[in-house]
Amino acid sequence: LSANEISEIKATWAIPAATPSESGQAILLEFFRRYPANLQKFKDFKDMTLDELKVSPRFHAHANKIILTFDEAIKTLGTDESPAALQKIWSKIATSHVKRGISRESYMELKEVILEILTAVCKLNAEQQAAWDKLVTAVYDIIFKTMDDLGK
């Protein structure tokens, strides 16, 4: 990522990061609405309707975790520690999710929803969308490489 791409990401991230719970919930609700098979991976949620999910504390907690992971990663961008920090953050996600049987396809479905919601919430222009796509692609490269190494 170029210095300019990093500054666009940091500036636009400030918008969803100001209301992390709402942003995370908007992303996850749309993810489950559009790709309901993913709900089956959550043993506590799988029999809930989207309306029930909206008021579930476990659902709120998980939505927050996704936002916090991105927040942690975005904070390191532009620092010397960034490559090592990103490797650590995202290989950990990959490892914990392999245990839950989360597929590459599920990640790609989530990526589509994340980019779409960010574009709407932050009114991203084409250049900013490309920078975000590049960031998600870079962290997904770490996830997928870790899955390869784990034989998944």
Closest CB to ligand HEM among residues 3, 57 = 57
Residue type, 119: T
Q: How many Cα atoms are found within 13 Å in the side-chain-facing hemisphere of 12?
A: 24
Minimum CB separation of residue 19 from ligand HEM in Å reads 18
Give the nearer residue to ligand HEM in terms of CB position, either 10 or 60.
60
CA pair distance 26, 100, nearest whole angstrom:
23
Give the helix ranges, DSSP H, for the chain.
Answer: 3-18, 20-34, 50-54, 57-76, 82-98, 104-122, 126-149
- C-beta closer to ligand HEM: residue 10 or 111: 111
- Please, what is the minimum distance in Å from the beta carbon of residue 59 to ligand HEM? 9
Q: Which residue is nearest to ligand HEM (CB)?
A: 96
Residue 101, Ramachandran bin (φ over 0: left; ψ between -120 and 50: alpha; else beta): left
In the bound state with ligand HEM, the residue whose beta carbon lies nearer, of 49 and 80, is: 49
Q: What residue ranges bind ligand HEM (CB under 6 A)?
A: 38, 41-42, 58, 62, 65-66, 69, 93, 96-97, 100, 102, 106-107, 110
Minimum CB separation from ligand HEM for residue 25, in Å? 14
Cβ atoms < 10 Å from Cβ of 113: 19
